[in-house]
Amino acid sequence: MKKIYSIVAFAMAALCLTSCSDFLDQKSESEQSTETTYESPYYTGLVVNKIYGLMSRDYTYSQVIPIIWGANTDTELIDGLGTGVETASERGVMNYRMSETFWARIGDWWKDYYDIIEYCNLVISGVRNSELYKSGSASDKKAMGQYLGEALTLRAMMYLDIIRMWGNVPMKFEPTQPDLSNAYLGKTDRDVIMDQLLTQLEEAIELLPWADAATNYTTERVTKGYAKALYAQIALTRAGYAIREDQESKTKLAEGYEKAPYSDDVFMTLRPSQSVREGLYKKAAVQLADIINSGRHALNPSYKDEWYQLNQLVLDKAYRENIFEVPNLHNVTGELGYTVGKRMNGITTDWGYGNSSGKLKTTATLWYSYDPADTRRDITCAVTQYQQDGENTAEKFIGNAPFGIYIGKWRPEWMSEAWLSQNKAASAKHMTGINTVRMRYAQVLLYYAECLNEVVGPDATLANAGTSMTARQALAEVHKRAFEDKSAAQTYVDNLASDKDGFREAIMQENAWELTGEGFRKFDLIRWGVLAQKIANMKKEYNEKCTTWDQYVHYKASSTNPNYVDMSTCVYDNNKTMDGYQDATWFGFADDTKKEGNTQWSTNLPRISEGLVGTTIDGTIGTPVNIAKQAVKNRYILPFTTKMIADANGALVNSYGY
Amino acid sequence: MSVKKSMRSALVLAFLLFVGSISAQTVKVNVKDSQGEPIIGASVVEKDTKNGGVTDFDGNFTIKLTANKPVVVSYIGMKTKTIDAKGKSELSVVLEDDNTQLEEVVAIGYGTVRKKDLTGAVSQVNSKQIENIPVSNVSEALTGKMAGVNITTTEGSPDADVKIRVRGGGSLSQDNSPLYIVDGFEVSSISDIAPSEIETIDVLKDASSTAIYGARGANGVVIVTTKSGKEGDVQVNLNASIGWKSITKELEVLNPYEYARYQYELNSNGNSPAKVNSTANNYGNWSDLDIWRSVEGADFQDETFGRTGVQRQYNASVSGGSKDFKYSVSYAHNDENSIMERSGYRKDNINAKINTKLSKWLTFDFQARLANQRIDGLNGGTDTNESNASNSIVYNSLIYQPIQELSAMDEDEESSSATRRSPSERLRNTYKMQKRFRQDYNASLTWKPFKGWTMKTQFSYNWRFNNTDQVWATRAVSNSSYGYNGAPQAYFLEQQYKGFTNSNTVTYDNKKLFGGRDAINVMVGQEWKSTKQTDRSQVLVSYPTSFTTDQVLANVAAGIPYQNSSFIHEDDNMLSFFGRINYTMMDKYLLTFTLREDGSSKFGKGNRWGLFPSLALAWRMSDEKFLSGVNWLDNLKLRFSIGTAGNNRIPSGSLFTTYKMADATGKHPGFNEKSAEMFEHATLLYNPDLKWETTTTRNIGIDYGFFRGRLNGSIDFYWNTTKDLLMKATVPSSTGYTQQYQNFGKTSNRGIEFTLNYAAIDKKNFKLNANFNISYNKNKIDELPGGATYQTSSWGGSRVNKYTGDFYLEEGGRLGEVWGYQSAGFYTVARYDAQGNYLGGDLVLNNRNQWELAPEAARNNSSSLFGGLYPGTAKVECDANGNPIYQRLGNTIPTTTGGFGIDGQWKTKYGVFDYTVFFNYSLGNKIVNATKLGASFFAGSQKNYNVMNDYNLDNRYTWVDPNTGLNLGRPSAETVAEYGGAQGLMDRLNAMNTNASVWNPAANSTMVVVSDALENANFLRLQNVTIGYSLPKAWIKKFYANNVRIYFTGYNLLCFTKYKGYDPEVDTSSKNNPMTPGVDYAAYPKSRSYVMGINLTF
């Protein structure tokens, strides 16, 4: 017995001594280190997938950016009207009523963007240090290079969005160091960041393939075309107006920056000098021309089909008008069509579970601005909704809700069979999976038109741009696509002003017609320096025109469904009824007394965007009604929340009078 | 007791067979105890001979003295007496209880020590204290019993976390739970041990005791020893009990009529005189609202928690053995239906132990413990597929609308009636079952090769399965983190743990040093320990919408597999070397020195090893000559100790950036509408420099015993400091992370503990013991480099504006400091006299029909916190510029805790009655009553939710004119006209609200932590009352029973407190963030229970 015991004891001791060092070195078999991850194209691809996954979260491109961030403009309104603008939620914030304590969720958005940036940083540094990338086989190098290009492009995309919402932000192009040496970063001038992004995109453009020119590189990933378009978008933003911090304002002014006509005296709205702008426009034009020349992307000849395919969750492989779409997943991510889109009011037999599409709406003034022949009007503005009427589902007009027109670019009748069968079975919100489009070819054309107009005017060509297309021709492509009668549309374009300023106005107008509801317009208006004025104009226009508008709409039932509306039969006038037609209320008032007794005019209209333009309705920009410490003109920018400031240990401070 | 008795019987029987012839001097010895009860089985031996025997049932033994020597009378647990019997034929002997307090053995880790020789601070609870009171969970039995050990049951659900804190706990952001050792081996929790199996529980509190566990002992050590077989006849114990549980109280919310009136303040119906009586209004038109007075409405608290739970407990044990072989087998069964519908549990435990002497030198012990648990139903707060606690069923049982609105049409997504499900409906559509199976096998070999030398090798192997099955039917899937809302889904998780520990010790013990003057005990040892964990989970979605939870379980394949995932955790390994010297000089001066070195696989190469020494000294003053004359003093010991212990509780993957596959809750990209796999890094920023957190403990204590042990207890003073705290530090979110583990800062805990036991009445037939303990602990954050930080308990999900955080940590401060705003009433309407002189009040209605501060009123910007500026909006304390002051509101950690009680027995000829009454208390803290705060405003656009009854019409500021139904708080132009202009409307609002005492929930669309929500949480709880009755021995002898006891017990019978929530002992947020203790949000309510049962011993 003793012997046995001694042997056991010795064996134990021996086992222990020999295995001591290994025994304490443990690693999960399910976890991969940085070294193994970036030496494998498969694993690297999985990390890149995570970047896209992070882009379909609620606070990024599944909900917040496409639906909320783009509000308010002259044509897009968040669902906070009247007293709703006081709500500490996107309803208040997107009416520009903000303070650092008002809505803590702003910090969650911020966090989600920097999450993505950190993943991009990890991939970029991982690939750059990867032996496989440096000295692997040609195919491995290429694959790893594409991932590098993607991460560079996505990071630039994130930074552009953060800059546009918060102004100057921490610039971090390296993975976070565990010793926190690069954690407490202060703000960097957005111009400095954007200049860097442009340089990085030049590298990314070289690395990335064109859409569908490499396996798996569909328009659901960023490709060469998107990188180029993003390059132009950043260059144009860099060349445009932006509100500046107080000290920065003075410095920039001394550097030759130009002050906007509508600007705060302390926190000035500035843009770079003429020469800097021109340089940027030229560079942007070259990249845009590359896209135009590539043949990889084109306008879908049918504006409707463009949206139909998106709603169907089908990638358009013929035209690839959508240069990059965030890959949302049916049932899991993507709120387009649910939180925004044509309304399904309550549960209906035809469509199933209702949606809550009123988060973002458009205005009657936009509806009236369209040429009646413009196919974009009835696609963009959904003036009807579905609701249950007894045993049948009926399509009804929304009535006199001039600020409550649904965005019809996402609508149930275009959505897929899979969605419909699911929605009929559902008893709760389920994600539509509709991809969030972040760049359309139409934007490329409008950017191109803008660049050329700014440099050479509407009708000249730019040397070295790689194409002989003029600004007017680019605009014409966009405009004409929307019309059946191409020659009439061409006439409209031909009659546009031939001076830069006049033509710029036309581009701004085309932008509203083409892009309303997609979350782009606000940032274009900001860089053009006209956000506040355009909103004030809209309020004035409604005030002046609502008594001239028609009070009623008359329509016939659809030939395929007697409960639905045939939009092509609509007649608008001031008569309550019309023989052979069904009737509904429209946006007009009989006279001033009617409008004054109405909530839309008396309560809602003044308070729209009151945090930016005040409550005036005469076309002047009033004193912003705000809850921040100071009233500041043209303050469209988001504050840092108290938590963001506290977490940064003094590295971040609010400016702009928050 | 029963053990003694059975042994007695055995020995009597043995004796009866052994009766020999009687000759020479014959003495009839009668042995009684101090109460005059005969002692059965006492040994009566002629000194230095083998001549003798044991007493019979009446305490008699007749001894024939052959060697003319004195008689030695002895009995286990009593003081041995030697009596000269010369010339006597009868001898009456009274044996006195040995001072058991001092002779009791206490577990100290890798050994035991007599309480007398203890140098450290140790609290003990023994089986006596547990076995008379049937509890379902060990921790329940300990609450309030031990000074310095604070036990908080965080909520009332069957699987609620029990937070045990020994002397406060030093870590700020880490789990401060103590180390649990069961029969020599570490376990993760003691909740799966049947209380009936427990022999003793020792809690080691100071470093002198805990240092032997080194790295893991920083937060104290709880050592559980289960029952073992004892030499003697077979003994059989049977216990059975049945109990009933019910909710202690319900919280008052608005009744249906009040609710309808409140909803009227929220909607826009009252904006125009024309619409106020339109039938389109949600709860009917104004003039008809009275009909709600006769409507009873749904009481969802009652529907959810209203049932009477039934608990049953059975246990049986068989034990016995010979000198060389002892065994014990026990089985326990517990089941309970808890107060919440569809919740309950079942527990079966088997514990088998054998101890055998293989040879004269070699002993072998083997133990198998099996525990099988099944927990049904939900706990409080969120449950897996809910995005936050405000969506939880528990919370909705409070705020869900008691009546349905008349029309279900609404624009808002959150309040669209189609997505709202009543708590009862959701409960019926939810299935959750946790199955936990645990097996532990311990074997040890003890070898005593030479006198004084003991070598022991112990091996333990454990294997655990934790499986969780969850199914949600259609109506419970509206806020799922997996997506696929609106169709049933299922989640299955399998977790498997395997661990082994091997420890080897060599002990040298010499009690005869320097001729018996001194004694030494030296122990050295080594231990290695390894734990493996594997998780596997499955998520299935999109079952047919008609499926019930049972149908889903029966047809799992009908769903779409959404995500399968697995994770093989890194092995958690530890290698340790340790040693201890106990030196006793002259039986008066005691010294213990302990040293342990631990290496942990959780740290990087340079920081892996931690060395933890400790030293303790004790002086048994009462044994000094100068005190030997003091009659009333029988024990006085002074103890002093200092030492360190460590902490390594950080999750794996904290050292390096690593990537693993994302699970189902991650949002996967949908390339070509297919969910793509992703690799993700840890949520916390890595830190390769992490090292041990170290706690230094200093303790001075006195153990005392007076009046022959009738009054005894101890008093301890301690000062613990913890440095290099393993903190989950906040990092700016622009890093891509929100937190990182870091070693920084220093905290301390200072405190006093006092215990007192007093045998107040010690008569033959009646006994009354009183016990009392109190502990005071004060925590302090001594150093916090990097500055103060705010922590958020995130209790309200999106309901509450998190502002900066509600808890504040700063150097010099304490844990649990709540910050927020000091409530200062609400905005009112400005009043003017006929001349236009300002008379007070805040707001005036401007010409755009919006409220603004009257020019004469003091600046006050409180409304920026609450959403809008209206009369009735809450106000908080503001600075001179009118900006709200963010300030300290109170602390949520009690400073003083303890318990007191009495127990005893009353003997009658009809049997013995025993009784126990025990109170526990906690003082000095506040609790954030977040449940109430969450139900005191309307969050964002959330109409159709109820609020607390505090906001009824008698109390709240109201906007709706009872005469007209018009809303004067958010008036339309028409309303203003109706009142003849702004002034008329303002006068009317003032007249309506002369008695208003709280804000209008309808005026506050966001909420922050305000002082109103911080409630005094002092409490005194009548924790337990037990009355037992043991049948007289004479009656039960016929049934061969030794003891038959029936009893009745009540738990949580009364709680004296000012706290208005369910229960002041609550903590719902520190599970997720230990720096946010003392929040009461959506806690599963506690229950009161009554149990009756029977104990049988054969």
DSSP β-ladder status, A384-389 and A344-345: parallel
pLDDT of residue B415: 37
Give Cα separations from B710 to B103, B204, B849 (angstroms): 15, 25, 79
> Between B341 and A189, whose confidence is greater?
A189
Give Cα separations from B168 to B161, B435, B720, B749, B817 (angstroms): 17, 32, 10, 7, 15
d(CA B504, CA B357): 19
Instruction: For residue A164, report the phi and psi dihedrals to the nearest 5 degrees.
Output: -70, -25
Name residue B311's beta-bridge partners: B243, B336
Written as one letter, the residue type at B789 is: T
DSSP β-ladder status, B430-447 and A405-407: unpaired
Average pLDDT over all residues of chain B: 84
Q: Which tokens hold the place of B436? A: 């936990």
| CB nearest to A1's CB, from B358, B681, B1006 | B358
- Angle of the A441-456 helix axis to the A224-239 helix axis, nearest 10: 40
CB A113 within 8 A of CB A162: yes
- How many other β-carbons are positioned within 10 Å of the β-carbon of residue B834? 5
Instruction: For residue B1011, report the phi and psi dihedrals to the nearest 5 degrees.
Output: -60, -25
d(CA B511, CA A239): 91
Question: Distance from first CA to last CA of chain B, Å, rounded?
Answer: 12
Written as one letter, the residue type at A408 is: G
Q: What percent of chain A has pLDDT over 70?
A: 97
* Confidence bin at A475 (pLDDT 50/70/90): very high
pLDDT of residue B791: 78
Say if the Cβ atoms of B656 and A220 lie within 8 Å. Answer: no
Query: Which of B426, B448, B735, B967 to mutate to test binding with chain A, by most A CBs within 10 Å of its CB?
Result: B735
Q: Is the pLDDT of residue B101 over 70?
A: no
pLDDT of residue B508: 93
- Angle of the A224-239 helix axis to the A190-207 helix axis, nearest 10: 160
d(CA B245, CA B37): 40
d(CA A334, CA A349): 24
Write b or e for each residue in A407-423: b if 16 or more Cβ atoms lie within 10 A of its Cβ, otherwise e. bbbbbbebbbeebeebb
d(CA A107, CA B303): 39
A428 in reach of chain B (CB within 8 A): yes
Q: Under 8 Å CB-to-CB from B455, ≥6 apart: which residues?
A: A5, A9, B446, B447, B448, B449, B504, B505, B506, B507
d(CA B1098, CA B1015): 52
**pLDDT tens string B159-206:** 666 777 887 766 776 677 888 888 888 887 777 787 778 888 888 888
Q: Which tokens hold the place of A274? A: 């003429």
Q: Is the pLDDT of residue A279 over 90?
A: yes
A430 in reach of chain B (CB within 8 A): yes
**pLDDT tens string B819-862:** 999 999 999 999 998 888 999 999 999 877 788 899 899 888 88
Look-up: residue for tokens 């932000």? A169
* Confidence bin at A379 (pLDDT 50/70/90): very high
Question: Distance from first CA to last CA of chain A, Å, rounded?
Answer: 82
CB B718 within 8 A of CB B749: yes
**pLDDT tens string B617-645:** 999 888 888 887 788 888 889 999 998 88
Query: Which of A26, A91, A188 to mutate to test binding with chain B, by most B CBs within 10 Å of its CB?
Result: A26
Q: Which tokens hold the place of B621? A: 């003053």
Say if the Cβ atoms of B575 and A57 lie within 8 Å. Answer: no
Query: Which of B734, B852, B859, B862 to mutate to test binding with chain A, by most A CBs within 10 Å of its CB?
Result: B734
CB B832 within 8 A of CB B838: yes
Written as one letter, the residue type at B663 is: D
Q: Is the pLDDT of residue B99 over 90?
A: no
Cβ contacts of B601 on chain A, cutoff 8 Å: 23-26
Residues A24-41: what's their mean pLDDT?
87
Average pLDDT over all residues of chain A: 92
Say if the Cβ atoms of A332 and B675 lie within 8 Å. Answer: yes
**pLDDT tens string B135-160:** 767 777 777 777 778 777 777 776 66
CB A112 within 8 A of CB A60: yes
Cβ contacts of A354 on chain B, cutoff 8 Å: 416, 418
Residues B870-888: what's their mean pLDDT?
91
DSSP β-ladder status, B823-826 and B874-876: antiparallel
Residue A631, classified by CB atoms within 10 Å of its CB into exposed (0-12), middle (13-18) or buried (19+), is middle
Specify the pTM.
0.83
* Confidence bin at B278 (pLDDT 50/70/90): low
B898: nearest Cα among B11, B112, B150: B150
Q: Is the pLDDT of residue A617 over 90?
A: yes
- How many other β-carbons are positioned within 10 Å of the β-carbon of residue B121? 31
B411 in reach of chain A (CB within 8 A): yes
Q: Is B238 helix (H, G, I), strand (E, B) or coil?
A: strand
Written as one letter, the residue type at A52 is: Y
A49 in reach of chain B (CB within 8 A): yes
pLDDT of residue A12: 53
Q: Which tokens hold the place of B908? A: 């009658």
CB B798 within 8 A of CB B1005: no
Q: Which tokens hold the place of B1072? A: 């997720």
Residues A13-27: what's their mean pLDDT?
63
CA A329, A333, A336, A342 torsion-angle sign? positive
Q: Under 8 Å CB-to-CB from B847, ≥6 apart: which residues?
A: B982
Q: What percent of chain B has pLDDT over 70?
A: 91
- Determine if the peptide bond prior to A392 is cis (ω within 30°): no
Minimal Cα distance from B861: which residue of A? Answer: A627
Q: Is the pLDDT of residue A50 over 90?
A: yes
Write b or e for each residue in B709-733: b if 16 or more Cβ atoms lie within 10 A of its Cβ, otherwise e. bbbbbbebebebbbbbbbbbbbbbb
d(CA B482, CA B542): 11
Q: Is A477 helix (H, G, I), strand (E, B) or coil?
A: helix
- Torsion from C-alpha of A483, A486, A489, A493, nearest 10 degrees: 130
Give Cα separations from B126 to B200, B238, B328, B927 (angstroms): 4, 19, 18, 33
pLDDT of residue B18: 42
CB B1057 within 8 A of CB B1019: yes
pLDDT of residue B390: 61
pLDDT of residue A99: 85
Nearest CA of chain A to the CA of B863: how many Å? 9
B471: nearest Cα among B514, B507, B430, B421: B430
Name which of A379-383, A595-599, B299-303, B1014-1018 the model is least confident about. A595-599
Q: Is the pLDDT of residue B105 over 70?
A: yes
Give Cα separations from B839 to B832, B870, B924 (angstroms): 5, 19, 41
B601: nearest Cα among A334, A646, A22, A158: A22
Q: Which tokens hold the place of B291? A: 């009909």
pLDDT of residue B39: 76
Cβ contacts of B449 on chain A, cutoff 8 Å: 2
d(CA B794, CA B727): 19
CB B163 within 8 A of CB B816: no
Name residue A258's beta-bridge partners: A271
Say if the Cβ atoms of A429 and B482 lie within 8 Å. Answer: no
A111 in reach of chain B (CB within 8 A): yes
| CB nearest to A356's CB, from B413, B657, B738 | B413
Nearest CA of chain A to the CA of B258: how many Å? 25
B387 in reach of chain A (CB within 8 A): no
Instruction: For residue A429, report the phi and psi dihedrals to the nearest 5 degrees.
Output: -55, 130
**pLDDT tens string B531-574:** 999 999 999 998 998 899 999 999 999 998 888 888 998 888 88
* Confidence bin at A10 (pLDDT 50/70/90): low
pLDDT of residue B330: 92
Name residue B156's beta-bridge partners: none
B160: nearest Cα among B1066, B1024, B842: B1066
Instruction: For residue A622, report the phi and psi dihedrals to the nearest 5 degrees.
Output: -80, 180
CB B933 within 8 A of CB B1018: no
